Amino acid sequence: MFKFKELTVYKKAFALGMEIFEITKGFPKEEQYSLTSQIRRSSRSVYVNIAEAYRKRMYQAHFVSKSSDADMENSETSAWIDTAFACNYIGQETKNDLTKKIEEIGRLLNHMIENPEKYLRIEDKIRMES
């Protein structure tokens, strides 16, 4: 039923969101309502938008739109990672590791955006070919 959970991009985005959650537990309390909440929100929004896109895959334009939203949130997460590094809340190694994961998720999302037909339901593909 919930096949979006089988998507590699969903698994990677979910894992990254959970990793960011753990890392941000160590951020200063004064960042709780700014950087901490923003980076948690954007990282979680990536996999949530992937789930929504998957459910909209019978409508190609909606699928692309939601996938694009996921990509946008992924880019926002990258900017927050840069901020956390600039504020010395994370080290260079953590920044590099998170950035590498964000870039991989971005490539997978880009594939979804550029090739939506590969994600259509079988019955929708048949209908489009008729």
**What is the sign of the dihedral through the CA atoms of 5, 79, 68 and 103?**
negative
Residue 87 maps to a domain: yes
Residue 2 maps to a domain: no
- pLDDT at site 36: 97
Which CATH number goes with the domain that contains 99?
A: 1.20.1440.60
Domain that holds residue 99: 7-129
59: enclosing H helix or E strand: none
Q: Does residue 121 surpass a pLDDT of 60?
A: yes
Residue 37 maps to a domain: yes
pLDDT per position as a tens digit, 68-118: 999 999 999 999 999 999 999 999 999 999 999 999 999 999 999 999 999
Distance CA 5, CA 47 (A): 9
Torsion of Cα atoms, 42 then 47 then 51 then 53, to 10°: 60
Q: Does residue 16 surpass a pLDDT of 90?
A: yes
Total structural domains within the chain: 1
Q: Does residue 33 surpass a pLDDT of 80?
A: yes
Give SS3 for 90. Answer: coil
69-99 burial by CB neighbour count: b if 16+ within 10 A, else e? bbbebbebbbebbebbbeeebbeeeebeebe
The predicted model scores a pTM of 0.91
pLDDT per position as a tens digit, 46-65: 999 999 999 998 899 999 99
- pLDDT at site 2: 59
Residue 1 maps to a domain: no
